[in-house]
Amino acid sequence: MRSYQDHLELGPVLNQMLVLLEQERRMRGRLSQLRAQAFGQVALVAMLPWALLVILGVFEPNMVAIFFADYRGWAVILASLLFEMVGAIILWRVSVFV
Amino acid sequence: MFLFKARSRSLREQRRYRHEMILFFHSLSLYLVAGYDFNSSWELVSESLLRGMSRPLRDCLKISQGGVLSDVFRSVQVSFPIQGIRPWLGVLGQFYENGTELVSAIRQLTELLEAEQAMDMENHQRCLPTRLNLILIVFFLPPALMLLMTPLVLGVWETLLD
């Protein structure tokens, strides 16, 4: 824009900008792909305990009822949630590149 | 844990600084290619980019009130946040003082930084699966085990109490 306003030659600038934008796009693409892969895996593993709980609830409802019967069951559920949240935060921080 | 956090923060900072410097040098070389002289290019890039850059870099690259570009080059040689490129910035400063053509020197420096960044990124990509597995084992496996074992443990506990 400034080169245009100052009546300077734009061809080389545009050529160089094209290469730069392409480089930037490629780098960001690779990084976001990497992070998406990591988060896909983690989402799958994070859902595993809860899926197990649901399956257990279908086949053995009495075993799952224990969780909601007293404070110890609730404590286990809360501790599991807390663990997963801390893990997700750490994972987010570890996977950041820039 | 604290050491690990400090190390990873400093690694990320180095990468961010490097990324910002690559952008800075690219913009600088764009202005030079367009036909601006080095001083005006530096000022124009500072005007447009420095506001969005990290504070240590901004403080190093900004031309102070009434100062000249040579002062910036002198100060970056000793206090620039990316230690590895301090000597190269010194060389750039000498080129500037001698009035040598700077576009190719800036391109070389940018390529050096880009190569370093690419190497770092490959290293990051290589290490990420291991880190991911470690985090999965430490933070996501115990909840699964806890949810599976709790009914059994509570059942045994109740039986023992009876």
- Tell me the pLDDT band of A23, cut-offs 50, 70 and 90: confident
Alpha helices in chain A (DSSP H): 2-5, 11-59, 61-69, 71-95
Using CB atoms, which residue from A34, A84, A90 is nearest to B125?
A34
Taking only the tens place, the pLDDT of each residue in B30-72 is 888 888 888 888 888 888 888 888 888 888 888 877 778 888 8
Q: Best interface-test mutation with B: which of A7, A18, A26, A76 has the largest number of B CBs within 10 A?
A: A76
Could you say which DSSP state residue B64 is in?
Answer: P
Question: Dihedral (C-alpha) A67, A68, A69, A70: value to the nearest 10 degrees?
Answer: 80
- Tell me the pLDDT band of B1, cut-offs 50, 70 and 90: low
Taking only the tens place, the pLDDT of each residue in B147-157 is 888 888 888 88
Does pTM surpass 0.80? no
Q: pLDDT > 90: what percent of chain B?
A: 1
CB B45: neighbour CB atoms within 10 A?
22
Q: Find the closest chain A residue to B25 by CA distance.
A: A20
Identify all chain B residues contacting A90, using CB atoms and an 8 Å cutoff: 135, 139
Q: What is the greatest pairwise CA distance in chain B? A: 92
Whether A82 shows a pLDDT value over 90: the answer reads yes
- Contact call for A97 and B30, based on CB within 8 A: no
Record the tokens describing residue B121, joined without a space: 């990124």
- Contact call for A48 and B154, based on CB within 8 A: no
Alpha helices in chain B (DSSP H): 2-34, 38-49, 55-61, 69-79, 86-98, 103-135, 141-161
CA distance A83 to A81: 5
Q: B107 CB near a chain A CB, below 8 Å?
A: no
pLDDT at A4: 66
Identify all chain A residues contacting B29, using CB atoms and an 8 Å cutoff: 16
Over range B9-32, report the average pLDDT. 86
CA distance B24 to B110: 9
CA distance A9 to B108: 23
CB-count exposure of residue B139 (10 Å: 0-12, 13-18, 19+): buried
Taking only the tens place, the pLDDT of each residue in A26-44 is 877 877 887 788 788 888 8
pLDDT at A85: 92
Helix (H, G, I), strand (E, B) or coil at A9: coil
Q: Best interface-test mutation with A: which of B116, B141, B147 has the largest number of A CBs within 10 A?
A: B147
| Inter-chain Cβ pairs, chain A and chain B, closer than 8 A | 117
First-to-last C-alpha distance (Å) of chain A: 28
Taking only the tens place, the pLDDT of each residue in B101-116 is 888 888 888 888 888 8
- Average pLDDT over all residues of chain B: 84
